[in-house]
Structure 1
Amino acid sequence: MPRSRYKTLVDTFAVDIRSGRLPPGTRLPTHRQLATEQGLALVTASRVYAELEGMGLVSGETGRGTFVRETSLPPGQGISQSVVAAGMVDLNFNYPSLPGQADLLRQALRQLALSGDLESLLRYQPHAGRLHERASVARHLGERGLNVSAEQVLIVSGAQHGLAVVMMTLLKPGDVIAADALTYPGFKTLAETLHLEVLPIPVTANGPDLSALDKLCRSRPVRAVYSMPTLHNPLGWVMDTAQRERLVAIARQHDLMIIEDAAYAFLAENPPLPVAEMAPERTVYVSGLSKNIATGFRVGFVAAPLHWVAGFERTVMATTWNTPGVMTAIATAWLDDGTVYQLEAQKRADAQARQALAREVLTGLETVTHPSSYFIWLPLAEDARADQIAMALMREHVSVSPAEPFAITPHVPHAIRLALGSVDMDSLQQALLKVKRVVGYYA
């Protein structure tokens, strides 16, 4: 087949999709049907669909076929805050805040202004943070069941920066890292940027399929596993002690590093011990204060085996040099005086109230969540399409995330994630009612 005819067929499909003549959700002919209708070789028909998929116009789904995608859905939906327009109710991104937090910041700034240590905050800080501030973080982690010394802690510019520092230091391009088949989009972005190969661990109702992880390690040279054992984003699970022990056993058997992401762990009441406490010789614990204080409060921390700390310090130096001194001083003061624990308790209660409201409004829909989580995962009916539902909700001025940003498998489940923590309760109730109505319409 001449190249011009092949390109013409791709262009014809593209024009029909973009013009709406082939509306979102249209099931296209099978590869074999397209080959027969157009007089093509089967490999050429497959190439046509592959190019359309690469353009973001169609999606091929194992066992279902090839479908026209919702092309008017903003790119980056589920990752970028910039897609949320004015007047849009944001169930796409979480930035939970409580009344009175701005007053806490004003008071903290006044207290800092009266301190005798102010001038030192204007200078460069040690790359890992000042030792007394690292000690404050170590005491905080001890309250969570993770016993580490100040020397094992690094202060970083938010949990995402901490995750970047860890992966940049411990992994190199081409390394294989395993992660849950549905996982945090920020991890996916980092892995892609660092040219890592990410292998999916199938997910179950209560956590990752650890037998599948063990099998994966026997067939591929897996270097590390990225895990969110306490309040998983987006599925909300909390792995029990037996699951954590099994994960540790697999990691020791196959000599894996474990990256434990605990960004939302503060929301779980009385969780099991951190994986980092169970396997301190091979686990890096990453968390921060963006969710339990505020998303603009970019202070995070990494706790690691001592022999990795020097490498992490070099990476901090290469990326941000050090965490801003003023913000770190406020953060550690709030850790020391109990302000952080007070905010965490209030946010747990807030998340529980929002989950209770969601359970009431979404009665009759299948949901996957945790009673203290700020997320709800909403699987859709077999024939429903997440991109269509997300676009329909945008027309109703509600922004949600389809599953695609969270998926690391070729087959993306049709589901949406609802973030409950960014709007007031009345707006949340009205938005959830719209979600139920739109999902019901497409069911």
Structure 2
Amino acid sequence: MPRSRYKSLVDTFAADIRSARLAPGTRLPTHRQLAASEGLALVTASRVYAELEAMGLVSGETGRGTFVRETSLPPGHGIDQPDVTAGMLDLNYNYPSVPGQAELLRTALRQLALSGDLESLLRYQPHGGRLHERASFARHLLTRGLNVPAERVLIVNGAQHGLTVALMSLLQPGDVIAVDALTYPGFKALALALHLEVLAIPVTESGPDLDALQRLCRSRSVRAIYSMPTLHNPLGWVMSLEQRQQLIAIARAHDLHIIEDAAYAFLVENPPSPLAELAPERTVYVSGLSKNVAAGLRVGFIAAPAQTIAALERMIRVTAWNTPGVMTSIASAWLDDGTVSRLEVQKRQDAQARQIIADEQLAGLHSVRHPFSYFVWLPLAEDARAEQVVTALLREQISVSTAQPFAISTHVPHAIRLALASVEMGALRGALAKVKWVVEACA
């Protein structure tokens, strides 16, 4: 049996298990039955099951047979809340922090307690935020190359809430949205919950295949594009000005909304203009303070065309009414006094230092990444299987993600994503060395 045929059978079983077409607890054919049905040698059939077991997808029980396991990976390895046990090094989720952030919060709470505005924070806020706070975010957006008046900025409960509000305002169930074939898992979950049809735009290492996007728009009634032009998650690209202009030309030709996700854009120095600056009439720009300040702050912001503001505000009211006054007050104060800008500089330096460690420890492995990003995409060798790599790393107390949570298309590449921001520098060095060892051993 050719090696590609053997691997294809392993992949078919793995896909059926991950998609629940083979439910947990299902007894698989015996080795002899598999060999007979597939025309394999018995030793080859045994190898298929051995590899599935090494990937954590099945378990063999002496005298009973081979069964589909309850889960292939522990909770937290998709889009769920991370469940990192004691001693586990988390390279799955990014929650970057730099020294002194807890003291910043302590000081901010003291200052807030001494202010004369506390009583107003106990009441409902305007749905899109108080105008002076929206102005703080508008001034901050100028540092990102986006010139927008405060009236077109809305404050939300984190970037994920911003994406929810944007999709609920602009699209209806059944509408078609074009998305990079590898994209942010939180967007995948949101599109599924809102019953949107997602079409995959093929990706390259330098950006989306925009010719393919053009063909999609000609053949289907696409209503919107979701894009991360500045520091794509997970591939780390920064689209060139020419790519942005081409994407906008397609959107204008087919009258599409553009949803621009800028969660990691702060890490890139002097990027091309945001899509929202180049096409302000059709772009909703979404970002937040989870990565550049702290994940627990849960304050985000939207910059949107004037004609969409009323609909966006209605959806903020429907989903959350308004952002918490205390959190928003702290966030706007940090924007105004330069705290956010200083943290962004520190985190750019931190991300660059972590990428240098990754460059040293992963030398010899093909990787896709930006030198200032907080993640690394590691495509695996043709014969390697991502689940096997992840399972082996879990035994080493290292948590990483496969491509599965990021994949829009039916083809899921065998790759892993490494989040670099959530472990101490020294621990990161050792963890990445183990990643390289496991990846090479599984090749």
TM-score grouping bracket, smaller chain normalisation: 0.7 to 0.9
Structure 2: distance between partners of 1:12 and 1:135: 53
Give the TM-score normalised by the residue count of structure 2. Answer: 0.86
> 2:442 maps to what in 1?
442
> 1:381 maps to what in 2?
381
Structure 1: distance between partners of 2:202 and 2:79: 22
Structure 1: distance between partners of 2:267 and 2:404: 25
Structure 1 residue matching 2:229: 3-state secondary structure: coil
> 1:348 maps to what in 2?
348
Structure 2 residue matching 1:296: 3-state secondary structure: helix
5 Å-filtered alignment, 1:313-392, equals 313-392=313-392
Greater than 6 Å deviation, 4+ residue runs: 10-13
> 1:286 maps to what in 2?
286
Q: Give, as a single letter, the amino acid of the residue that structure 1 aligns with 2:26.
A: A
Q: CA RMSD in A?
A: 2.2
Structure 1: distance between partners of 2:205 and 2:69: 28
Q: Give, as a single letter, the amino acid of the residue that structure 1 aligns with 2:192.
A: E
> 1:14 maps to what in 2?
26
Q: Deviations over 1:247-269 (max 9, x none)?
A: 00000001110000000000001
CA distance 1:16–1:122, shift in 2 (3 Å) = same
Give the TM-score normalised by the residue count of structure 1. Answer: 0.86
CA distance 1:326–1:78, shift in 2 (3 Å) = same
In 2, are the aligned partners of 1:79 and 1:93 still within 8 Å (CA)? Answer: no
Q: 1:73 offset after TM fit, Å?
A: 1.4
Structure 1 window deviating more from structure 2 (106-115 vs 356-365): it is 106-115
Alignment of 1:271 onto 2:271: yes
Structure 2: distance between partners of 1:34 and 1:323: 59
Q: Deviations over 1:126-180 (max 9, x none)?
A: 0000000001111111121111111101000000000000001111110000000
Q: Deviations over 1:343-377 (max 9, x none)?
A: 00000000000000000010000000000000000
5 Å-filtered alignment, 1:67-146, equals 71-146=71-146
In 1, are the aligned partners of 2:24 and 2:69 still within 8 Å (CA)? Answer: no
> 2:405 maps to what in 1?
405
Structure 1 residue matching 2:259: 3-state secondary structure: strand
In 2, are the aligned partners of 1:176 and 1:198 still within 8 Å (CA)? Answer: yes
CA distance 1:354–1:69, shift in 2 (3 Å) = farther
Q: Give, as a single letter, the amino acid of the residue that structure 2 aligns with 1:149.
A: P
Structure 2: distance between partners of 1:129 and 1:386: 44
Structure 2 residue matching 1:107: 3-state secondary structure: helix
Residue-pair matches, total: 397
Q: 1:79 offset after TM fit, Å?
A: 2.1
Structure 2: distance between partners of 1:278 and 1:69: 50
Q: Give, as a single letter, the amino acid of the residue that structure 2 aligns with 1:424.
A: E
CA distance 1:424–1:196, shift in 2 (3 Å) = same
Structure 2: distance between partners of 1:313 and 1:102: 32
Structure 2: distance between partners of 1:218 and 1:257: 16
Structure 1: distance between partners of 2:100 and 2:39: 67
> 1:40 maps to what in 2?
none
Alignment of 1:240 onto 2:240: yes
Structure 2: distance between partners of 1:35 and 1:355: 46
Structure 2: distance between partners of 1:336 and 1:11: 54
Q: 1:273 offset after TM fit, Å?
A: 0.3
Structure 1: distance between partners of 2:122 and 2:70: 50
Q: 1:14 offset after TM fit, Å?
A: 2.6
CA distance 1:389–1:328, shift in 2 (3 Å) = same
> 2:19 maps to what in 1?
none
Structure 2: distance between partners of 1:161 and 1:243: 28
Q: 1:11 offset after TM fit, Å?
A: 8.6
Structure 2: distance between partners of 1:438 and 1:356: 20
In 2, are the aligned partners of 1:384 and 1:414 still within 8 Å (CA)? Answer: yes
CA distance 1:431–1:324, shift in 2 (3 Å) = same
In 2, are the aligned partners of 1:70 and 1:391 still within 8 Å (CA)? Answer: no
Q: Give, as a single letter, the amino acid of the residue that structure 2 aligns with 1:312.
A: L
In 2, are the aligned partners of 1:155 and 1:301 still within 8 Å (CA)? Answer: yes
Structure 2: distance between partners of 1:246 and 1:90: 38
Structure 2: distance between partners of 1:142 and 1:358: 32
Structure 2: distance between partners of 1:197 and 1:291: 29
> 1:149 maps to what in 2?
149
Q: 1:57 offset after TM fit, Å?
A: 6.0
Structure 2: distance between partners of 1:175 and 1:347: 38
Structure 2: distance between partners of 1:72 and 1:410: 18
Structure 2: distance between partners of 1:172 and 1:193: 12
Structure 2 residue matching 1:231: 3-state secondary structure: coil
> 2:3 maps to what in 1?
none
Q: 1:281 offset after TM fit, Å?
A: 0.3
Structure 1: distance between partners of 2:201 and 2:403: 16
Q: 1:185 offset after TM fit, Å?
A: 0.2
5 Å-filtered alignment, 1:295-306, equals 295-306=295-306
> 2:47 maps to what in 1?
none
Structure 2: distance between partners of 1:82 and 1:359: 26
